[in-house]
Chains A and B, each alone.
Chain A
Amino acid sequence: MNNNSLELEETVKELGQYFKTGKTKSVTWRKNQLQAILNLVRENEDAISKALYQDLGKHPVEAYRDELGGVEKSAQNSLDSVEKWMAPTKSNIPLLFFPAKGEVLPEPLGVVLIFSSWNFPIMLALDPIIGAISAGNVVVIKPSDQAPACSSFLANTLPQYLDTNAIKVIEGGGDVCEQILLHKWDKIFFTGSPRVARIVMTSAARNLTPVTLELGGKCPAIFDHLSNPSDFKMAVKRIVGAKWGICSGQACIGIDYLLVEEKYSSEVIELLKKFIRKFYGDNMVESRVLSRIINKQHFERLCNLLKDPLVAASIVHGGSIDETNLFIEPTILLDPPLDAEIMTEEIFGPLLPVITVNKIQESIGFINSRPKPLTIYAFTKDDTFKRKIVAETSSGSVIFNDTLVQFLCDTLPFGGVGQSGFGRYHGKYSFDTFSHEKAVMHRHLCLEIEPRYPPWNKFKLEFIRLAYRLNYFGLVLHMLGLKKHN
């Protein structure tokens, strides 16, 4: 798609006009588009895997598990549920307003803009699109230019399956983003970094455009002592699988750092090393199981995190880099300095700091003194501790004894709080995030209540007081002149 600004203006105008025809509001249209997305994903599995491998070196299983499978699941769920979601919800109206009927009717917002990020370039583009379509909107998707193969794929393939009058792909980098943000949108859905989120929201403010910001943060994993050895093993496996098995740590809900009691730290680290070797072998480039770092810029960023001598000194496993292939070995650090960048910035890479505390309960204070993350993971069988974590910390979500699966649970809202973002999606929440919930109240022109109108007097005042208190009996007495009023 040509990034000419005049063309962009035309595009936005056309989309608005198409939306006004009302075509996208029909349940048939929505279902057709959702089915089309299903077909797209099913018929292009190889092409998508290829693009993901090109952009990120993702293994096909990872590509399916984290991207394709998720999209398929989401599209199918929306297809099955959209009609139900579209139905108005009845609201109870107090007797006072009888006869009256109330309901909340969801309606599409109109022309929506979706920015997706580079780490899950297919999933994070198509999943919000699924939400926007099921809510009846027209969409512009701006995929990240840092995942160019996937961006191309979307630009070439979406028009082959979806209604091109309603869904458009605009490719490009920062300058294109700037251009796009000059226009008036009915909603902006952004996945990415807090820095760019600020720019997006500031732009949105010019038109009072509502936004959903799916950001990230330093997602901690609290690792409590697990006395059962098989539980302990499973927990470590899950942590390893989550940290390095998901885009090499380049995920918003990836584990950023571990919190563990000092006396167990060596045990944990040993087992971490063992599973790293088991899963990823000794030659990570050849095994093709690990994703690589997205590009040179991020590669350098991550290398720089390790350059600090105190940080480098804390490396207990890994640390080697392959600049040609943009690979960084799974790396574990033990107690790097807390004021080093590796502990103040979101890592978004295959480096895992292990922070030790005296007592595991101190994790709560540690986490609370930092910006609210997207997810807190906690491995523990202590129910009291679980309750404490839920009650005393704040994060987008909390997951006990596992990692990442919340992404697959479409009955749970997925979104952040504080610096990790606001708004949410997945399942019906996607539909809601792209809808306006319109309140509708029906009244009749009979059964009029006289005391509603001026001229005002004491009688009418008392009537209204009683009415507000829903004191129906009092009202009746009042009307009959039998109630004393002060």
Chain B
Amino acid sequence: MATSKVNKKVFDSEEALTTVKDLRTTFDSGKTRSYEWRISQLKALLELTEQKEQEIVKALCNDLDKPPLETVAYEISMLKNSCKTAIKELKHWMAPEKVKTSLTTFPSSAEIVSEPLGVVLVISAWNYPFLLSLDPVIGAIAAGNAVVLKPSELAPATSSLLTKLLAEYMDNSSIRVVEGAVDETSALLQQKWDKIFYTGNGKVARIVMAAAAKNLTPVVLELGGKSPVIVDSNSNINLQVATRRIIAGKWGCNNGQACISPDYIITTKDYAPKLVDSLKTELESFYGKNPLESKDLSRIVNSNHFARLSKLLDDDKVSGKTVYGGEKDESKLRISPTILLDVPRDSLIMNEEIFGPLLPIITVDKLEESFDVINSGPKPLAAYLFTNNKKLKEQFVKTISAGGLVINDTTLHLAVHTLPFGGVGDSGVGAYHGKFSFDAFSHKKAVLYRSFFGDASIRYPPYTKTKMRFLKALMTGGLLAIINAIFGKS
């Protein structure tokens, strides 16, 4: 059983090459293709998640001060569900898909066969370090691949726990964890992978994709963006419920450090004060009068991000705009839930993904303007709308381009396995969850079966006018045209 002893050996290009070679040997042996192997690994992951819950909760506490309930709800339970879905559906996912063939290729039969890509690399993020490491790994395993997981070094307790647990529970000949930071990641990126799955930010995503380009490796990039919330003043929404859902999505998700957290709100000028009041009331009922001390909120991950967020608050352009919160405790890396009202569009806080407990509110005269506000920026990973107005909902769905949209709630679509989870434009490439994970790590091979019966001589030279006529009919006409062609009519 491998232990998490400190390994002084440097993980360089040579080590990375050896790792990939080992995994490729395993993959080439065909071991990971069998249904039995895949199920055994998925079950092992499930067991790991069930048996080590306390250790996982502890690691996330260390890394992020994540409230145990959040860990259980968002990391552990979601991962368990993902495992169970894969175990339940795998046979069905692995089955070839029969495909209709047309008259043009008669007689023939065809199917699409899913096959593993080979040896894949999963690079995970620090904010949901357990879920975002293992959820993609579930997809990779279900699809029959060998996997290297590179957890984020910014969540070190989880990273070393993953190393220990995966070594203990999983097949080490095909599933490995490589810990480290920039150097180790670079060493990994120099190797030839059959797929790279990256969760993180746009800057590193560009480096990953450029590295992938050298080997023509396909990628999935799960990034982020500024996920907006539009709150409609005019349709008599239940403001309390709406507010609670916004809070749950923002501060209830790792204290705003989540890719699909509501980033900012857009509402009309006259409604804003009402919204602010509602937010204040509900925030207090959730986190008490001293939210800086609340045990139900994660802390900021590290001093770099703390400084980054402080800078957003210190920006001259937002001075005087804070209407709630704004308290900081640098020693504990804590920032209290903060609301800013009427921030200028060119402020720092409106020009980068916040990824923290600050919630700016933008006001507009007419709610329709909110669509232009959103569409004038990069496409976000998610966008939210609270309204009872059917027409507004339709407009929203039609006009706003984002990874995913939720109406009258926030972030929930993450938990629905029948919806593809991924971005568009700057928020990413590709999608996963449920069967989409299986597909993301598979090659869909087209297989066409033909027989030796009935060869069309029109295929071969010498080429004549008759053949040309028949060919045209065969390709674009239906049965009638073919019959016509046979009898010499054009």
Contacts and interface: CB of A to CB of B under 8 A. Distances in A.
Interface of A: 20, 59-62, 64-65, 69-70, 72-73, 76, 91-94, 97, 100, 102, 104-105, 107, 109-110, 186, 194, 197-198, 201-202, 204-206, 208, 210, 213, 215, 228, 230-231, 234-235, 237-238, 240-241, 245, 279-280, 287, 289, 368, 386, 390-392, 394-402, 405-406, 408-414, 417-419, 421-424, 436-446, 448, 452-456, 460-461, 464-465, 468-469
Contact of B69 (A107, A110, A460, A468): A460
**Number of contact residues on B: which range applies?**
35 or more
B230 to A, nearest CB: 14
A436 B401 contact: yes
A452 B202 CA distance: 31
A257 B373 CA distance: 57
11 contacts: A61-B463, A61-B467, A64-B472, A102-B419, A205-B206, A205-B209, A390-B113, A395-B445, A399-B448, A455-B286, A461-B68
A289 B463 contact: yes
B416 A208 contact: no
B63 interface: no
A245 B459 CA distance: 9
B117 interface: yes
B110 to A, nearest CB: 6
A73 B425 CA distance: 32
Contacts of B101: 409, 411
Given A73-B476, A440-B397, A441-B404, A208 B450 contact: no
Nearest to A422: B218
Contacts, number: 284
A439 B413 contact: yes
A194 B192 CA distance: 15
B465 to A, nearest CB: 9
A468 B73 contact: yes
Given A59-B463, A237-B455, A443-B407, 4 more contacts: A201-B212, A289-B462, A405-B450, A436-B401
Contacts of A423: 218
Given A76-B476, A453-B252, A468-B77, A208 B428 contact: yes
Nearest to A412: B446
Contact of A397 (B72, B445, B471): B445
Interface stretch (B120-128, B174-182, B237-245): B237-245
A6 B106 CA distance: 51
Contacts of B252: 453-454
B69 A208 contact: no
Nearest to A455: B296
Nearest to B217: A422
Contacts of B33: 391
B443 A417 contact: yes
B206 A206 contact: yes
B64 interface: no
Contacts of A413: 112, 444, 446
Given A91-B418, A279-B461, A437-B420, A465 B77 contact: yes
Given A215-B216, A279-B460, A456-B67, A210 B429 contact: yes
A237 B460 contact: yes
Contacts of B405: 438-441
B102 A409 contact: yes
Contacts of A456: 67-69, 296
B445 A408 contact: no
A234 B421 CA distance: 48
Interface pairs A-B: 8 shortest CB-CB: A205-B209, A201-B213, A61-B463, A439-B404, A468-B77, A402-B450, A69-B475, A397-B446
Given A105-B397, A464-B72, A398 B216 contact: no
A104 B420 contact: yes
Contact of B221 (A186, A208, A240, A444): A208
Contacts of A60: 463, 468
A402 B448 contact: yes
A411 B110 contact: yes
B460 A401 contact: no
B81 interface: yes
Interface string B403-426: 111111100110110111100111
A92 B418 contact: yes
B159 to A, nearest CB: 25
Contacts of A245: 459-461
A289 B101 CA distance: 30
B431 interface: yes
A69 B476 contact: yes
Of B33, B80, B100, B475, chain A has the most CB atoms within 10 Å of the CB of B475
Interface string B437-457: 000000111111111100100
B483 interface: no
Contacts of B318: none
Nearest to A76: B476
B286 A454 contact: yes
Nearest to A400: B449
A468 B431 CA distance: 22
B3 interface: no
A72 B477 CA distance: 10
B401 A443 contact: no
Contacts of B403: 438-439
B429 A208 contact: yes
A72 B481 CA distance: 15
Contacts of A448: 241, 244
A439 B216 contact: no
A279 B446 CA distance: 30
B393 to A, nearest CB: 7
Contact of A202 (B115, B210, B462): B210
B138 interface: no
Contacts of A406: 446, 448
A446 B422 CA distance: 28
B99 interface: yes
Contact of A461 (B72, B115, B206): B72
A93 B444 contact: no
A93 B460 contact: no
Contacts of A97: 412, 415-416
B397 A411 contact: no
B54 interface: no
Contacts of A445: 237-238, 241-242, 386, 388, 408
B292 to A, nearest CB: 15
B78 interface: yes
Contact of B418 (A72, A93, A208, A238): A93
B4 interface: no
B202 A208 contact: yes
Contacts of A368: 28
B188 interface: no
Contacts of B105: 405, 408-409
Given A409-B105, A465-B72, A198 B216 contact: yes
B450 A399 contact: yes
Given A97-B412, A408-B105, A454 B448 contact: no
B475 A70 contact: yes
Of A62, A70, A439, A456, chain B has the most CB atoms within 10 Å of the CB of A439
B155 interface: no
Contacts of B100: 411
A92 B89 CA distance: 15
A385 to B, nearest CB: 13
B311 interface: no
A485 to B, nearest CB: 13
A398 B213 contact: no
Interface string B201-242: 010011001101110101001010000000000000110011
Contacts of B80: 468
Of B420, B431, B448, chain A has the most CB atoms within 10 Å of the CB of B448
B402 interface: yes
B117 A417 contact: yes
Of A186, A436, A437, chain B has the most CB atoms within 10 Å of the CB of A436
B421 A439 contact: yes
B297 to A, nearest CB: 8
Contact of A91 (B99, B296, B386, B416): B416
